[in-house]
Chains A and B, each alone.
Chain A
Amino acid sequence: MNPSNTTSVQAAAVNHSEDSLELDAKLDKRSSFIVVAFILSGSAWLLLGSILGTIASFKLHIPDWLGESAWLSFGRVRPLHLNWMAYGWASQVGVGVSLWILSRVLKTTIPVRPWLFVGLLVWNFFLLIGGIEILMGHSRGLEWLELPIYTIVPIVLVILLAGEAALAMLHTRKTPHLYISAWYLIAAFICFPLLGVVSSLPIFDGTVQAGMNWWYAHNALGLWFTPMGLAIAYYLIPKVTGRPIYSYPLSVLGFWSLLLFYNWNGFHHLIGGPVPTWFVTISVAASVMMIIPVVTVAVNQHMTIIGSFEAVKYSPTLRFVVFAAMSYTFVSIQGSLQAIRSFNEVIHFTHYVIAHAHAGVYSFFTMMLFGAVYYIMPRITNWEWHSPKLIKLHFWLSASGMIIYLVGLQWGGIIQGLEMNNPDIPFMTVVNNTKKWLLSRSFAAILLTAGHFVFAYNVFRLMHLRKVRPAPPVTWLDIQRQRALEPKAEPASLGKKVTSAFSNLNKSFKRWANDVKVDEH
């Protein structure tokens, strides 16, 4: 690879020439309907999934609540929460966003759009039927694979169709180079249908089935959600900050090492389980090696954004994306540590792992999707978000909810694990000591659900309340351009800062004193 080519690849995402903007607008117009359809549909599943998750959470400390109904028992609501979130919200919005990004970076239109829409309808139909089957007690009984075979297979086929569309776009691309986001998305679209098909084969039972189960479940995260999330980050961070990706070689290393190591992680869910030790050892080693792609991506994205951190204040998209990217580093390093036997001995079988899974699917992937939706929707609908304040409210509800969730359940989970490994503590004491942490999780669930309703309202308003056009937002790029034009202000000296702070304080004190006087009269 020659150096000039490298820079052209890096610059691909930040190409703001007039021609390119015009082409993007044309492509966005064509992808508008199908991408909006996927985003709206996924958002509806998000609301349903949030309600189910909240019910499941409350049931753990009020076990008799809704206890009369088999349909609403914990053992059915909880897996349905997972399935509707994973295959409804995360996968549908993920597919929509991915197709849009591919259209943008490959400079080509999304093919077979009417068929994709039919596919989305089929997807929703089978997800609904599958959900009812789970509530009726006809689950397949494997974690992450609860949907009955006849409902999961059509969903996998629809994703395969989207994957075919992605490969067709790769074939008809108008750009000579492939931007890093496209690699990740192609990987996701190739891996997930393969995973879905192999996991549906009726050739597994007993321990081998357990191995297959965790190979699938971990790869659904690692080879489906993770590459989509990273592709979004790699696309949006340069777009919003106006800076090219820091290093092309690091992107290459991060991509291939992710594929090499993540694939092998599944058996770390069976540490201490009834499988030959060497199988587990391979997965432990691969899990620890995951530090390579994670640190690579973290360095690459951090170096891209460094110096533009202020942009987080102006760009709601970047706020979500940066939160998500930092969560990715956090959750992945945590994942590597969890695979180490001595730590796994404590946290395996505890609520800690539930929190870890949410750090992955929520803090990382869902927040990334929120960021992407906030970026994409105005561009494909040609309409602005009405209220930056509500977007901010959504961010803080989601972020604080998730932090409370993680801190509570992981701290509680470690205590649970340590107590469980001490045979002198009766098991009932262990259970009692988890109750307060389960309560904190329900509080987090309320915050998160509230955030999702704010998000849904934002989307609803953008789609349907179109009376007065909202003011266009001030983007980070505008601010930078404006700053470049302004004469550079002298940096204020410390002395000046202190005096101005005092005078401000004085003013506000006077105002307050006046108010008090008014009250007295």
Chain B
Amino acid sequence: MIKNSILIIGIIGLFVFAMFGLTILPKIYIEPNVEKADVYVWGRAAEGHKVYVSHGCIYCHSQQVRPKGFGADIERGWGRASVATDYKGLTPHQLGTMRTGPDLSNIAQRQPGRDWHLLHLYNPRTVIKESIMPPYPFLFEIVDADKTLKEGLKLPPEYQIPGKKVIPTDEANALVDYLLSLNQKDPIKPQQN
């Protein structure tokens, strides 16, 4: 017969053992080895990170590049292999587990244009015909053309609204700032482990 105490102590013991191994040990082991991040999210880009989280971009886009020889991430031009330093101090982390769309670790290298990103957010199909990404029209304001001096998006003819301009909101601009900060042009020396 199994005693209550053995059952309970056994369960808690095994749980805490693994918890230590998978949460506390990484904290002790990984964190001191992480150098100050070169790619640091700050200013309006930090606001953009919040927008990125709020709209759940993580459910289709990862932000981790697997090393050479493991998948074809590097060959696809998605950047160099990610290291812990890339994510220093970032919360919530957005490493992601899904690539319905491509990895975004190095998106600013592949798409450096601000206008491209704004069009793509307003409706992805304005720039990529077969895209299945959701549109984000709510990050834009549609204003009467004669009531604003701001420049509207240069939409393809079939997406234009007569007499109106499509103006990005602060949220949209912050998100684009964040996406443009995802740039791995500077190599980071690989972590020792």
Q: Does B bind A? A: yes
Contact B26 A207, beta carbon cutoff 8 Å: yes
- Which A residue sits closest to B136, measured CB to CB? A73
- Which B residue sits closest to A80, measured CB to CB? B56
Contact A259 B71, beta carbon cutoff 8 Å: no
How far does the alpha carbon of A350 sit from the alpha carbon of B96 in the complex, in Å?
11
**Chain B interface secondary structure, helix, strand, loop or mixed?**
loop
Knowing A70-B138, A79-B59, the reply to whether A263 touches B17 (Cβ < 8 A) is: yes
The distance from the CB of A290 to the nearest CB of chain B, in whole angstroms, is 13
Contact residues, A361-393 vs B (CB, 8 A):
none
Knowing A1-B1, A191-B11, A422-B72, the reply to whether A213 touches B93 (Cβ < 8 A) is: yes
- Which B residue sits closest to A75, measured CB to CB? B56
Q: Which of A29-37, A86-94, A176-184, A481-489 contacts B (4 or more CB under 8 A)?
A: A176-184
The distance from the CB of B5 to the nearest CB of chain A, in whole angstroms, is 10
Determine if B162 is an interface residue (Cβ-Cβ < 8 Å). Answer: no
Determine if B177 is an interface residue (Cβ-Cβ < 8 Å). Answer: no
Contact B130 A431, beta carbon cutoff 8 Å: yes
Q: Classify chain B: how many residues form its interface, as a range.
A: 35 or more
A194, A266, A275, A354: which contacts B84 (Cβ < 8 A)?
Answer: A275
Knowing A263-B15, A427-B102, the reply to whether A210 touches B93 (Cβ < 8 A) is: yes
Contact A74 B91, beta carbon cutoff 8 Å: no
How far does the alpha carbon of A68 sit from the alpha carbon of B138 in the complex, in Å?
7
The distance from the CB of A422 to the nearest CB of chain B, in whole angstroms, is 6
Determine if A104 is an interface residue (Cβ-Cβ < 8 Å). Answer: no
A76, A252, A348, A423: which contacts B75 (Cβ < 8 A)?
Answer: A423
Contact B26 A142, beta carbon cutoff 8 Å: no
Contact residues, A157-184 vs B (CB, 8 A):
167, 170-171, 176-178, 183
Interface flags for B63-100 (1: CB within 8 Å of A; 0: not) read: 01011001110011000011110111111111111111
- Which B residue sits closest to A279, measured CB to CB? B26
Determine if B189 is an interface residue (Cβ-Cβ < 8 Å). Answer: no
The distance from the CB of A9 to the nearest CB of chain B, in whole angstroms, is 8
The distance from the CB of B57 to the nearest CB of chain A, in whole angstroms, is 6
Q: Which of A38-46, A197-205, A232-240, A501-509 contacts B (4 or more CB under 8 A)?
A: A197-205
Contact B30 A276, beta carbon cutoff 8 Å: yes
Q: Which of A132-140, A294-302, A314-322, A468-476 contacts B (4 or more CB under 8 A)?
A: A132-140
- Which A residue sits closest to B96, measured CB to CB? A349
Contact A186 B21, beta carbon cutoff 8 Å: no
The distance from the CB of B149 to the nearest CB of chain A, in whole angstroms, is 26
Q: Which of A18-26, A57-65, A331-339 contacts B (4 or more CB under 8 A)?
A: A57-65
Contact A141 B94, beta carbon cutoff 8 Å: yes
How far does the alpha carbon of A137 sit from the alpha carbon of B89 in the complex, in Å?
22
How far does the alpha carbon of A207 sit from the alpha carbon of B72 in the complex, in Å?
22
Determine if B154 is an interface residue (Cβ-Cβ < 8 Å). Answer: no
Contact A427 B56, beta carbon cutoff 8 Å: no
Determine if A498 is an interface residue (Cβ-Cβ < 8 Å). Answer: no
Q: Classify chain A: how many residues form its interface, as a range.
A: 35 or more
Determine if A244 is an interface residue (Cβ-Cβ < 8 Å). Answer: no
Determine if A327 is an interface residue (Cβ-Cβ < 8 Å). Answer: no
B1, B64, B84, B100: which contacts A434 (Cβ < 8 A)?
Answer: B100
- Which B residue sits closest to A353, measured CB to CB? B97
The distance from the CB of A252 to the nearest CB of chain B, in whole angstroms, is 8
The distance from the CB of A109 to the nearest CB of chain B, in whole angstroms, is 18
Interface flags for B158-193 (1: CB within 8 Å of A; 0: not) read: 000000000000000000000000000000000001
- Which A residue sits closest to B82, measured CB to CB? A274
Contact A209 B15, beta carbon cutoff 8 Å: no
Determine if A303 is an interface residue (Cβ-Cβ < 8 Å). Answer: no
Contact A203 B27, beta carbon cutoff 8 Å: yes
Knowing A5-B1, A349-B62, A421-B72, the reply to whether A194 touches B134 (Cβ < 8 A) is: no
- Which B residue sits closest to A203, measured CB to CB? B27
A69, A187, A432: which contacts B11 (Cβ < 8 A)?
Answer: A187
> Which residues from chain B contact A278 at a C-beta distance below 8 Å?
193
Contact A64 B135, beta carbon cutoff 8 Å: yes
Contact A74 B2, beta carbon cutoff 8 Å: no
> Which residues from chain A contact B94 at a C-beta distance below 8 Å?
141
> Which residues from chain A contact B113 at a C-beta distance below 8 Å?
none
How far does the alpha carbon of A79 sit from the alpha carbon of B29 in the complex, in Å?
31
> Which residues from chain B contact A354 at a C-beta distance below 8 Å?
98
Knowing A191-B11, A256-B10, the reply to whether A215 touches B23 (Cβ < 8 A) is: yes
Contact B92 A141, beta carbon cutoff 8 Å: yes
Contact A259 B10, beta carbon cutoff 8 Å: yes
> Which residues from chain B contact A279 at a C-beta distance below 8 Å?
22, 25-26
> Which residues from chain A contact B131 at a C-beta distance below 8 Å?
63, 428, 431
- Which A residue sits closest to B78, measured CB to CB? A427
Contact B22 A266, beta carbon cutoff 8 Å: yes
Determine if B53 is an interface residue (Cβ-Cβ < 8 Å). Answer: yes
Contact residues, B1-44 vs A (CB, 8 A):
1-2, 4, 7-8, 10-12, 14-19, 21-23, 25-27, 29-31, 34
- Would you list 20 pairs from A and B whose C-beta atoms are within 8 A, ordered by A residue? A63-B125, A63-B132, A63-B135, A68-B138, A139-B56, A141-B92, A204-B27, A205-B90, A206-B88, A206-B91, A206-B93, A208-B27, A259-B15, A272-B64, A272-B66, A273-B82, A282-B21, A350-B98, A350-B99, A354-B98
Interfacial residues, chain A to chain B (CB-CB below 8 A): 1, 5, 9, 59-61, 63-64, 67-70, 73-76, 78-79, 137-143, 167, 170-171, 176-178, 183, 186-187, 190-191, 194, 198, 203-213, 215, 223, 252, 256, 259-260, 263-264, 266-267, 269-270, 272-279, 282-283, 341, 345, 348-351, 353-354, 420-423, 427-428, 431-432, 434-435, 438
Interfacial residues, chain B to chain A (CB-CB below 8 A): 1-2, 4, 7-8, 10-12, 14-19, 21-23, 25-27, 29-31, 34, 53-60, 62, 64, 66-67, 70-72, 75-76, 81-84, 86-102, 123-125, 128, 130-138, 193
Besides the known contacts A76-B56, A190-B15, A256-B14, 9 further A-B residue pairs in the complex with CB atoms under 8 A apart: A74-B59, A178-B2, A191-B11, A204-B23, A205-B91, A259-B10, A269-B97, A348-B66, A435-B132
